[in-house]
Structure 1
Amino acid sequence: MAFSLFILFLIIGVIEIYAFQAVKTFTKVKWVRLCYVIISLMSIVFIVYQFTRFDRSVGQTPMFMITVGLMLLVLIPKLLITSVLILEDGLRLIVGSRNYFNNYDKEASFLPERRRFISKVALGIAAVPFLSLIYGMTVGKYNYKVLRHTLFFDDLPDAFDGFKITQISDIHSGSFDNPEKISYAVDLINEQESDLLLFTGDIVNTNATEMHPWIDTFKKIKNHEFGKYSILGNHDYGEYVEWKSEELKNKNFEDIKDLHRQIDFKLLLNENTKLKKGNDEIALVGVENWGVKFKKVGDLNKASENLKKEDFKILMSHDPSHWDAEINTHEKDFHLTLSGHTHGFQFGIEIPGVIKWSPVEYVYKQWAGLYVNMERYLYVNRGFGFHAYPGRVGIMPEITVLELKKRKKVV
């Protein structure tokens, strides 16, 4: 542990030295340099202090989220500055070595001076994530987007042609700090005029009490003709904190499940229900959380009990890693799977038709948006709320509207 801390502080020290070198080269104004040093030192002290105060029995708090945001705001730009200046140092070393061995001016410094232009470039590059992270924490986290997709199926029951589903996921109510913005998002949900509303897990960060200030707001989500259904996500099991007793943990879990009833959602716990329209019906299946990297409490066999392979099925499963691991090879054949969980990392670049990238793609094969395999769909919602980092950059909070259509046969 001591060695790890030593390495950590050594890395931070190197980053701080390089960042200061960029500022020092960029400006000769002493008070600017001094202000930079004071702000950097205060930020580091604050971050270290807050992390030492982190209570595993409480979990994520608003102050913890502020600390994470500040840490990213300080660390990422300085990492970029350090990367640029290390590259410059490599070139300075090459030039200095060449000068030395070719018997150039021996009295000159071995390493050429830093170029002010390079420091300007480094600071300019660093300004991009710095400003983006500030935007993410002030605007991006509540910049809700309604994303619409039309999905075609050969075997969709005729009565459900044009059936509309609104999906939300990853509410993380313990992170909210703006009632007006949440009310706005609820109004957006209601404006979609969908037939069915589905919520795919993570109603809180950890504690059931996090949702209490928001119950009345979410109760304003209007009743949909075919109902409002939900499942649990990984955060709903209280696994990320230390509990004083197993009884308290179990009570919190029961309270979290009851939250769904309080906001008028029907929670599906490894079970299914039939949605009937005219003479046709489709099956809605909800599993508890099942993730490759988390406890596997979801039970597809139990959840799809009494269903036939030919039944049209919509499956709610919080973690998209479930799709490749079990769902695609399951004998019951699920037509549409709805997931969330990844949040799209709350950071990335999305330009429709041009680029879709986030660091989370190196962990999850399916991490945001629509995926197809053998005419079976997976949709991964980017999340309604936010967690840890109190913002969103490039990957905005999402309300999904999916329209199911019967594929017309070509004669």
Structure 2
Amino acid sequence: MGRLLVLLFVYLGAYLVLRRLWPAVTRGWRHGVLLGLMGFAFAAWTVPAVTGYGLHHTPPFLVPVKLFAVVWSITALLVMLMGLPFLVLKLRAERRQRAAPPGVDLERRNLLVKAGQAMPVFAMGASAVGVVGGSLGFTVREVEVKLRGLPSALDGFRIGQITDIHVGPFISPEYLRGAVEVMNTAGVDLQVMTGDLIDDVNQLDETMAALASTTARHGMLAILGNHEHWRGLDEVLGGYAQLAQRGAPVRLLVDEAHVLEHGGQRLRVVGVDFPMSGRSRTVRDQRWQHSAETAFKEGHPDDVVLCLSHHPDFFPYAAERGASLTLAGHTHGGQVAFLGVPLFGFAFKHMLGRYRFRDSHLYVSGGTGHWLPFRIGIPPEVTLLTLRSA
């Protein structure tokens, strides 16, 4: 219900901005059309929230309705946020006009204000472009990571990473199966899934079957993200347990390590849980400290250590415990970037791509899926990483 109230606030804010900047839209038949479309979009969010129908799994005939609701909602948010500065300028211009001596024309000063009338068109276009970009499917990203002291047996070792799938309203198990098939075709040695697998546990069986389709030599190792905790942790844990019982090559790591041998060399893969700590950073850091102490407590000094963490800010804990490479997700890269720079890069210390601390490396994926189909400049990705000796 809280999300619906926020959405209603955004719609109302956009309406009020439009009413002042583009008065013609709020008069006559245009006003009726505007209110009708706004009501239709709001109903597209409200009906599933109230009835549960289509809340997570979206029937095919409802997909266009949800996509329209997404485009409309993002447009309303952009109109509200981008329109406020223009609205302030307009009010100031009107005040100056009233205070100006008779015969003084302030038309030139109003040009910027008039430019604000084009802003709703820009907002609608940006929203549509972002939704198309978020709905086109994933790209395959090749990344080479040079590690100091990497044993020759692991030089050329390939890892396929998927993360932030969010099987649910807009992402199907078939989409996930396609991502796994890309890694299968690439012939990676190990596949990893770094959290936020699913939002709709009603699709859990098909989702787990998609993971189990891995043919990697060392199978697939998975960890939990925050959405597994939110959407149904017991069901997700049960799904992984059933895969283990059936002998599927998929293993879940929760503050634990798994050792595999490749060419006679041990590779220790450490997987940590997500620190569900509310808004307290202190509690979050305490839980990360506990995860680090638990997951890294065993191991051989000659092991090469790979860490899987849904949240990328676990990187310092992994680095100080000898992890050569940490793979993470969670941020989706902000889902919006211009000229390769994430628009919301301020939100996370490690937002997207490659980072390094001394001899330890971090790669943050932009995510393989999304919880909202809106991306500009940061496409969903399946990452193929190749380890090389520095």
- Which TM-score band (shorter chain)? 0.7 to 0.9
Structure 1 residues 344, 194: closer, same or farther in 2, change over 3 A?
same
Q: Does residue 341 of the first structure (1) align with residue 330 of the second (2)?
A: yes
| Contact in 1 for aligned 2:366/2:379 (Cα 8 Å) | yes
Aligned sequence identity (%): 23
What corresponds to 1:244 in structure 2? none
Name the structure with the higher helix share: 2
TM-superposed CA distance for 1:376, in Å, is: 0.8
TM-superposed CA distance for 1:366, in Å, is: 0.9
What corresponds to 2:124 in structure 1? 127
TM-superposed CA distance for 1:309, in Å, is: 5.0
Structure 1 residues 292, 70: closer, same or farther in 2, change over 3 A?
farther
Which has the larger Rg? 1
What corresponds to 1:327 in structure 2? 318
CA distance in structure 1 between the partners assigned to 2:54 and 2:25 by the alignment: 41
TM-superposed CA distance for 1:304, in Å, is: 2.2
Question: Partner letter of residue 73 of structure 1?
Answer: V
Kindly provide the CA deviation profile for residues 11-35 of structure 1, in whole angstroms up to 9, marking residues without a partner as x: 643421332455544799x544532
TM-superposed CA distance for 1:83, in Å, is: 5.2
Kindly provide the CA deviation profile for residues 373-408 of structure 1, in whole angstroms up to 9, marking residues without a partner as x: 112111112222222x2454432221111111112x
What corresponds to 1:313 in structure 2? 305
Structure 1 residues 203, 97: closer, same or farther in 2, change over 3 A?
closer
Structure 1 residues 27, 366: closer, same or farther in 2, change over 3 A?
same
SS at match of 2:168: helix
Alignment match of 1:231 (pick from 223, 226, 229): 223
Structure 1 residues 84, 307: closer, same or farther in 2, change over 3 A?
closer
CA distance in structure 2 between the partners assigned to 1:19 and 1:374 by the alignment: 52
| Contact in 2 for aligned 1:147/1:398 (Cα 8 Å) | yes
In structure 1, the gaps of 5 or more residues are 242-248
TM-superposed CA distance for 1:216, in Å, is: 3.7
TM-superposed CA distance for 1:147, in Å, is: 1.0
CA distance in structure 2 between the partners assigned to 1:268 and 1:149 by the alignment: 24
What corresponds to 1:286 in structure 2? 271
| Contact in 2 for aligned 1:25/1:115 (Cα 8 Å) | no
TM-superposed CA distance for 1:48, in Å, is: 4.8
What is the root-mean-square deviation in Å for CA atoms of aligned residues? 4.0
Structure 1 residues 85, 78: closer, same or farther in 2, change over 3 A?
same
CA distance in structure 1 between the partners assigned to 2:110 and 2:91 by the alignment: 11
Question: Partner letter of residue 349 of structure 1?
Answer: A
Kindly provide the CA deviation profile for residues 262-294 of structure 1, in whole angstroms up to 9, marking residues without a partner as x: 653022233223332334322222222246768
Structure 1 residues 226, 89: closer, same or farther in 2, change over 3 A?
closer
**TM, length-normalised to structure 1:** 0.75
What corresponds to 1:402 in structure 2? 385
Q: Does residue 150 of the first structure (1) align with residue 144 of the second (2)?
A: yes
Q: Does residue 201 of the first structure (1) align with residue 195 of the second (2)?
A: yes
| Contact in 2 for aligned 1:349/1:357 (Cα 8 Å) | yes
CA distance in structure 1 between the partners assigned to 2:367 and 2:147 by the alignment: 26
**TM, length-normalised to structure 2:** 0.79
TM-superposed CA distance for 1:260, in Å, is: 4.8
